Structure 1
Amino acid sequence: MKLYSDFAPRRTRQIVADVVAVALIAVSIAMGILVFSVVNELARFGRQMQDAGAGLQSSMTDVGGRLGGIPLIGESIRDPFDAASSAGETLQSAGQTEQDLILRAATALGIGVAAVPILILLLVWLLPRIRFATRATRTRQMIRVGLDVDLLALRALTNQKVGAIARIDPDPLGAWRRRDPEVMRQLANLELRSIGIRVP
């Protein structure tokens, strides 16, 4: 797999782009983790509510149990404490629900903050890099098995910009049909250079 151009200026740009892209991916992941941590910190109110509810439930159950043991009046005194214990359980459940909701929100926001820039970066940076590597690798393999100047020149006529071709010859197609060796060589060089391969 050919990852980088044979030509120093383009290779330098590719390396710099790769380093910047990896750094931006790392920053995006760090930002996603930071957002998750900040939003998830709001769950401490839910934890406090859950702890308070658990404490209230436990206390009221204990007090109700003790007072319930008093002969004659125990059962009637116990009822309000049982109701308070039930309220503590409700508070505990509400605290747990709040924590669950905040965790889901923190996860969604954290992933969103990290994923959106990474997806954009992959479209802008990774797809062109994959196209370059695929095209350069395939062309180099074709050269090894005998891709000739004629076919490379034809590919230049179909792939390259008209202005770049016109600088080689005012009538490049006519020169290709006449098999002008100099024009064919220059067109082949133009095609190879655009792919990032130095002329063998």
Structure 2
Amino acid sequence: MKFYADRVPVALRQLLTDIAVVLWVYLWIRVALWIHDTVEQLAVPGQKLESAGSGIAANLAEASGKVGRVPLVGDELTKPFTGAADAARSIAEAGHDQQEFVAQLALILPAIALSVPLALVLFLWLPLRVRWIRRAGVAAAVRDNPAGQDLLALRALASQPLTDLAKLGPDIAQSWRSGDPAAVTALADLELRRLGLRHRRR
């Protein structure tokens, strides 16, 4: 398996691209974490609301219990306290619900922020990078034996632009068919150069 080209300009471009992709992913992860932390701060009012509502409800329930012990009129006096305690519990529940909503939002928004950048990496850059690694790995494995050079030459004839093939001579295809070693080597070099590779030996 070959991860980088032999030719310095191509290898440098690949390395810089890989570094840029890693930095791109890291940057968006940091952005997603910042969004998460920022959204979570919206839960602070809900926490205070829940805490205050629970505290008020507890105090009113305690007061209701004490008032309920008053002879004759205790039951009547507890009704306002009980109603107020129920209202305070509703406030506490609203604060709790707000916290849950914020917690869900703190997960959804960072996921949305990460989805597009990661999709660009996974569906655009990564397939191209893996395809080059596979092709370069095969080419590097066969480039220094005659049969492999012949395969590379055939690949060059099939895929290289006509202008590049014409630079090798007007009868380059005929020379390859006749097994001319110079033509095979020139075509193989052309294909290797496209991948950023070179022969290890002549």
2:169 counterpart residue number: 169
Q: How does 1:175-190 map to 2 (within 5 A)?
A: 175-190=175-190
User: What is the rounded CA distance, in whole Å, between the counterparts of 2:74 and 2:189 in structure 1?
Assistant: 101
Give me the whole-angstrom Cα distance separating, in 1, the residues matched to 2:166 and 2:103. Answer: 62
Moved over 6 A (4+): none
User: What is the rounded CA distance, in whole Å, between the counterparts of 2:143 and 2:186 in structure 1?
Assistant: 16
Q: TM-score, normalised by structure 2?
A: 0.91
Contact 2:56 2:88 in 1 (8 A): yes
State how far apart, in whole Å, the 1-side matches of 2:137 and 2:170 are: 31
Q: Which runs of 5+ in 2 are unaligned?
A: none
Partner of 1:127: 127
SS at match of 1:77: helix
**Which position in structure 2 is the counterpart of 1:116?**
116
Task: Return 187-196 or 62-71, whichever deviates more.
Answer: 187-196
Cα offset for 1:195?
Answer: 2.4
Deviations 1:122-161 (A, max 9, x none): 3332221111111111222344776432222111111222
Give the Cα separation in 2 of the matches to 1:170 and 1:117.
Answer: 47
Report percent identity of matched pairs: 32
For structure 1, the residue ranges without an aligned partner over 5 or more in a row are: none
How far is 1:170 from its partner? 2.0
In structure 1, the partner of 2:197 is 197
Aligned to 1:5: 5
Cα RMSD for the two superposed structures: 1.7
Distance 1:79 1:161, change over 3 A: same
Distance in 2 between the 1:133 and 1:54 partners? 61
In the other structure, the counterpart of 1:102 is 102
Q: Is 128-137 or 23-32 further displaced after alignment?
A: 128-137
Give the whole-Å Cα distance in 1 for the aligned partners of 2:150 and 2:180.
Answer: 10
1:77 equivalenced with 2:77 (yes/no): yes
Alignment of 1:49-88 (within 5 A): 49-88=49-88
* Partner Cα distance (2:100, 2:184) in 1: 69
**Separation in 1 of the partners of 2:170 and 2:55?**
90
Alignment CA distance shift 1:85-1:48 (3 Å): same
Cα deviation, residue 118, structure 1 = 2.0
Name the amino acid aligned to 2:110.
G
- Whole-Å Cα distance in 2 between the matches of residues 137 and 85 of structure 1? 74
Deviation at 1:52, TM superposition (A): 1.7
d(CA) in 2 for partners of 1:56, 1:98: 19
Amino acid at match of 2:17: A
Q: Alignment length, in residue pairs?
A: 200
* 1:184 shift after superposition: 1.6
How far is the alpha carbon of 1:65 from its aligned partner? 0.8
